Structure 1
């Protein structure tokens, strides 16, 4: 039934649950997994905010040396952020392959909701497995919900995995939970 399963992976603590659900679905339907991580400033971003970089042309009173150093630090943080995403995707890919499931992965920069939907369309996914952490309040009001966007605009079926909201969401704590 579902032979191309797109799995939306992020840096949330619930990513392992999302992956586990997708893996179970792939085993039951003898499907293939396509893991996707969307690099986004909407995620828990690196220490140096991309806001600085986006607004650098408007900071006419900032010393150019300070801005240059801020950009260097940002570039280093962004590179580390990308590498962490690849490590997590590789970890899940190796786990799925060890379980006999054909798996590939991609990491793309963009707005998570629309990028997931566009990628699902381009890879002809039959289903998208995505987590929903249940955030509420200001964060959801201002940023919106990625899962809500995907539910409304996806070109295929959706499996929504409800995951708990955990307090510790540093990249290091997430990696520990994923590799546990």
Structure 2
């Protein structure tokens, strides 16, 4: 059976609900859990770059600190449930790539993630990170809805 689950969380209620289901699953099968939060890269379009100073560095530092705090709450729940857990926060513009890279780098044998259920034009325009993970990855994916 599965021994190491990767669970991306993004701050949405669906993602947090999926985390709790994945945590129950991991506890039931005796698997460990890696939690991942992908932070969007700093984006700014300006002609006066010299006015920005350390804005990019400050963004990375503050966003990483916020992500660590966010992931820490989930990690505490995992510890209380008796599930070994580590956390990863990455700055990346393409969450699905960060998810697949992290799963590979950490040796995960299952990715458990939420699907936000966007359909129609909204789903087409926004895209689906879950769909991209399913399309581009070779690791099994458990999708929570």
In structure 1, the partner of 2:13 is 13
Q: 1:99 is matched with which residue?
A: 81
Q: TM-score with structure 2 length normalisation?
A: 0.85
| Contact 1:121–1:155 (8 Å) recurs in 2 | no
Q: Number of aligned residue pairs: give it.
A: 144
When normalised by structure 1's length, the TM-score is 0.70
Question: Against the structure 1 CA distance between its residues 114 and 147, is the aligned structure 2 distance closer, same or farther, given a 3 Å change threshold?
Answer: same
How large is the Cα RMSD of the aligned pairs?
2.2
Q: Where in structure 1 do 4 or more consecutive aligned residues deviate above 4 Å?
A: 67-78
How much has 1:7 moved relative to structure 2? 0.5
Pick the structure with greater CA Rg.
1
The whole-number CA distance in structure 1 between the counterparts of 2:80 and 2:118 is 33
- Cα distance change, pair 143–94 in 1 and its aligned pair in 2 (3 A): same
Structure 1 unpaired stretches of 5+: 42-49, 163-180
5+ residue gaps, structure 2, are none
Partner of 1:26: 26
User: Displacement, 1:107?
Assistant: 0.9
Residues 58-69 of structure 1: pairs in structure 2 closer than 5 A? 59=47, 64=48, 67-69=49-51
